[in-house]
Structure 1
Amino acid sequence: MSAAVMVVSSMLAVAGAGAIYRIARGPSILDRVLATDVLLAIVGAALAVDMIVYRNLDYLALLVAISLIGFIGSVTVARFVTDRR
């Protein structure tokens, strides 16, 4: 299981670095918002992996809050963009 955790952690780290790069260099605000949503999903996945490895539910409320914030933020931006056109 240790090798699998290392592989998943490295994949999440690379994905997080890519999302942070897109947030910094995104050509438009929509790219930055989408990258922020992806980064929230990556953080949620990292919390889920941590809970699986250590067999606890300490971060469950934080995981739910992060998921709700990401969803509500994405829906808000999508509605704002469609109303502007």
Structure 2
Amino acid sequence: MPAPATPDVREVTVRRAPKFVPFMAVGAILGFLAALVLAYTGPDDPTLTRESVLGFFTVAFALPGMLLAALLVLVIDRRSVRRAERARAERTDDDA
């Protein structure tokens, strides 16, 4: 009868890392909302429609909003690297 094989045990790093896309999407949405407020509460201009002002300010605010969100997620990711924990993982041959 063969002896049972020794399990394959490894040291692994476990950490919680943020996802970039949701943070950047929230930054873009907040930039759009700021543009929406500014475009529709500002003074009326006979040469520009409110929609064209909204388009301009959306580009002007959504891109910096995404950039700030990306910087925030990088800071959070750096903190998660520092708080990473070491664990032991054992490989099993389960059929499930």
Per the normalisation by structure 2, the TM-score is 0.32
- Point out which structure has higher relative CO (alpha carbons under 8 A, 6+ apart): 2
Structure with bigger helix share is 1
Structure with bigger strand share is 2
